[in-house]
Amino acid sequence: MRNIKLVISYDGSKYKGFQRLKDNDNTIQGKIENVLSKMTDEKIEIMASGRTDMGVHAINQVANFKTNCSFSVEKIKKYLYEYLPEDIFVKEVIEVNERFHSRYNAVKKVYLYKINNKEYNPFMRKYELFIAKKLDIYEMKKASEILIGTHDFTSFASSKSKKKSYIRTITSIKIDESSGNINIFIKADGFLYNMVRIIVGCLIDVGLGKIDYNYLVEILESRDRKKASDTAPSKGLYLYNVYYE
């Protein structure tokens, strides 16, 4: 069987999230599978690097699927462009080794969180978090360093999350600021449920002076979700990149 890799960009605003739900295809996965199944006349299942929640976007989500169809990758790309809704775009279609698995082979992922710290922008209302009060970027950067490395991130996972291990390794947190647009890039070997949004929530509170460096250490060490700040809204979050060996 052929194994086809997809690189996908989507505006998550209108969807219930990436993962297909029973009897409901208002999901990114559902939309893509429907188009591919129609094209190939097979029951296509795509496997993504990970799910994204309701309202979360992607710049470079990676997925793959198995097929017996004989369409060229160019033809598949064209067909997807024609039949997918305008808010889902498959940027790349590549034939890969049959052992490639977009989830198991992913070694690192980068999420981006966009904050507008200048003036409200109606065109970006679904694509960034607007915060009127000036954030202290220096303090945010300093605080973000606490989280880098291998830690138990229980405090930064949704209480709904059920995992065997809450230990993850954050390789880097980059906070870029340019004329009031703040981009926070977080790179890790894996993320817990809501982890980026809870970390961003804490960094925002640091930037607003509500909590400080030492309190962030306390949050991390407490392994208690209730200690950490509120989950930042989904609209500012983008799955930015997925890395493979």
Residues near a second copy (CB under 8 A) are 9-11, 57, 81, 86-89, 91, 119-123, 125, 127
Helix, strand, or coil here: 112? strand
Q: Can 53 be counted among the known catalytic residues?
A: yes
* Residue 235 near residue 195 (C-beta atoms within 8 A): no
Between 79 and 153, CB nearer to a second copy = 79
Q: Which of 53, 87, 205, 212 is catalytic?
A: 53
CA distance from start to end of the chain: 23
CA 107 vs. chain centroid, Å, equals 15
Helix, strand, or coil here: 216? helix
Tokens 């890790």 belong to residue? 188
In the complex, minimum distance from the CB of residue 168 to a second copy, in angstroms, rounded to a whole number: 28
Between 104 and 123, CB nearer to a second copy = 123
In the complex, minimum distance from the CB of residue 116 to a second copy, in angstroms, rounded to a whole number: 12
Give the phi and the psi of residue 226 in degrees, each rounded to 5: -65, -25
Between 25 and 189, CB nearer to a second copy = 25
In the complex, minimum distance from the CB of residue 8 to a second copy, in angstroms, rounded to a whole number: 9
Strands 167-178 and 88-96 come out as unpaired
What are the catalytic residues?
53
